[in-house]
Amino acid sequence: LDKFATGYLDNIAKHLYSSVLSDVLDDAGHRHQVMRPDVRPLYPGAKVVGRAATMLAIEVSELPPEPYKLLMDLLDGLRPGEVVVGAVQGHAGSRAAMWGELLSTHTRAKGGRGVVLDALSRDSWGIVDMKFPVFATGLSPADSKGRLEVVAIRSTMPIGGVSVANGDLVVADDDGCVVVPAAIEDEIVASALEKVSGEDKMRDILRKGANIREVFAEYGIL
């Protein structure tokens, strides 16, 4: 089974969503896999499922000797099925965007499925126009040049409050972003597919006016 394959990832995107995956991860004892709530889609309905290509940037106060070196390494080597997952560490005062329309165009051309950033983006109009699923903590017109610099790629990093390893399964939608560690991906995806059908039944019962208490006793979830 090729876990970078479009078919494999599209199937997850079609049947699963962030909250059901979070529930199943919780049940399996992985209770810290949800990013902070300020990582938001650039447009309603954006959804991305793919394998994390991780990067971490810092704030700088002058242009580095080889600007953008690691960022370009990551993006030029991107593999179809991947999602760029990154963070800017630094103070909340920063106003520079880590991402924009040109990088989105490039990433899509390389087969990248989307972007999840604990950082700002820019060029929202262009990205929304392309319907390229980018998640960010906000928008700013200011460029990253001489303000931000990537210092690590493709290693395990804290992003949005979650420890993300390169290659982990990332699922982001209107509710937020969940990271499924690659080592437990098969069992988590399988359980989530089961749970989805259970929720459909609950919804029908509740719609008819059932008490929450009975439903919780029966299904163990709310």
Restricting to residues 181-200, name those near a copy of itself by CB under 8 A.
Answer: 199
Asked if 145 is part of the footprint of a copy of itself (rule: CB under 8 A), the reply reads: yes
- Quick one: which of 4, 68, 80, 154 contacts a copy of itself (CB under 8 A)? 68
- Quick one: which of 21, 48, 49, 55 contacts a copy of itself (CB under 8 A)? 21
- Quick one: which of 152, 184, 193, 196 contacts a copy of itself (CB under 8 A)? 152
Asked if 131 is part of the footprint of a copy of itself (rule: CB under 8 A), the reply reads: no
- Quick one: which of 95, 131, 183, 186 contacts a copy of itself (CB under 8 A)? 95
User: Which CB atom, from 138 or from 185, has the smaller least distance to a copy of itself?
Assistant: 138
User: Which CB atom, from 9 or from 41, has the smaller least distance to a copy of itself?
Assistant: 41
Collect all residues with Cβ–Cβ distance below 8 Å to 75 and sequence separation of at least 6. Answer: 84, 103, 106, 107, 110
- Quick one: which of 120, 134, 180, 189 contacts a copy of itself (CB under 8 A)? 120
- Quick one: which of 19, 154, 185, 196 contacts a copy of itself (CB under 8 A)? 19
Structure tokens at 79: 């593999």
Q: In 204-222, which positions are buried (b, 16+ CB within 10 angstroms) versus exposed (e)?
A: eeeeeeeeeeebeeeeeee
Sheet hosting strand 97-99, strand order edge to edge: 97-99, 120-121, 138-139
Asked if 22 is part of the footprint of a copy of itself (rule: CB under 8 A), the reply reads: yes
User: Which CB atom, from 1 or from 138, has the smaller least distance to a copy of itself?
Assistant: 138
Asked if 101 is part of the footprint of a copy of itself (rule: CB under 8 A), the reply reads: yes
- Quick one: which of 146, 187, 190, 194 contacts a copy of itself (CB under 8 A)? 146
Asked if 180 is part of the footprint of a copy of itself (rule: CB under 8 A), the reply reads: no
The answer to whether 7 touches 48, Cβ cutoff 8 Å, is no
Residue 17: name the closest of 183, 142, 163, 199 by CA. Answer: 199
Asked if 28 is part of the footprint of a copy of itself (rule: CB under 8 A), the reply reads: no
